[in-house]
Amino acid sequence: MRLKDKVAIITGGASGIGLAAAERFGQEGAILVLADINQDNIDRASAELSAKGYTVHGEICDVTDQAQTREMARAVAEKLGRIDILVNNAGISRYRPFAEATAADWDAVLGVDLKGVFFCAQAVAPQMRAQQYGRIVNISSALGTGAAPHGTAGSPGGSAAYASAKAGVIMLTKTLARELGPDGVTVNCVAPGTFLTPISASSRTPEQVQEHLEYRKKTVVLNRIGTLEELANTILFFASDESSYVTGHTLHVDGGRSDRM
C-alpha cells in the first residue's frame, strides 16, 4: 500500500474531487481526514468511506478563516500524531459575464480557491517541517493555465475570478515548493480539465452543464470527459513517495486539451 498509515487531510473532502481522492487514498491505506465546511456532507461521506473499511475522521473547517485552518491542523496533529499529506481541494466558482461580476463574486472565489490554499498550507507546514516530511497537493484548473476560447456564463471573461484564482494556485505551488523543500516537504499541483462534479452545476443550469460537457469533449484529443478515478490517481501520485523527487510541478490532467496544444 502506497499510503499505509499516512495521515491525509483533504479539504473539500466530502464531495466531488475531494471524495474521489479520499476513496483512492483509503484504498492505499491512508488515515483520512475530511476537512469540509458542511457537517452533513462530512457525516455522509464518512459513513460511506467507513463502510468500505477505511479509517476516517471529519473536521469542520472554513478554509477562508485562518484561525479555523490552524485549529484544524492542530487538532489533527494532536489526535493522530502527524500530518503527512494535505490535498488543497476546497473550491467554488461563481461564473458571471465579466461586466456583471461583483466585488462579492471576486472576493468569494479568491477567498476559497486561493487564500484557502495559502491558509491550509501555512497551517500544516509547522507539523510537516517538524517531521521533515510532507506532501502538499494543490488543485488548480485548466482554466488557470490559459483563457479558453469557449465563453463561460455568456462571456469570454465569465470565468475571470475562478481562472485568476487557479492561476494563482500554480504560482503559489512554486513558491511553497521553494519554501518547504529544504524541510523534506514537496508541493505539487494538479490542473484538471473537465470533470463532472458538483461545482460543474454550481453556476449552470442542467442544460448548460450538458452543453458544456459536449463542447469540452470536442476540445480534447481523447474525445471524452475524464473520470474522477483518473484524476484521483494523479493526486495519489503526488501524495505518495513515487513522486519523492518532484516538487513545484503542475501536471495537466485534461485529456489533451487541443486549445492548449
The residues annotated with a catalytic role in the active site are 162
Q: Of 79, 110, 84, 94, whose CA–CA distance to 10 is shortest?
A: 84
Helices H, strands E: what count in the chain? 8, 7
d(CA 249, CA 176): 11
For residue 215, give the amino acid letter: Y
Round to whole Å and give the CA distance between 50 and 233: 20
- Distances, alpha carbon 235 to alpha carbons 139, 164, 224, in Å: 9, 22, 20
159: its cell numbers:
470565468
Distance of CA 141 to the CA centre of its chain: 9
Contacts of 261 (CB under 8 A, 6+ apart): 221
Phi first, then psi, for residue 48 (nearest 5°) are -65, -45
C-alpha cell at position 209: 452543464
- The DSSP output letter for 112 is I
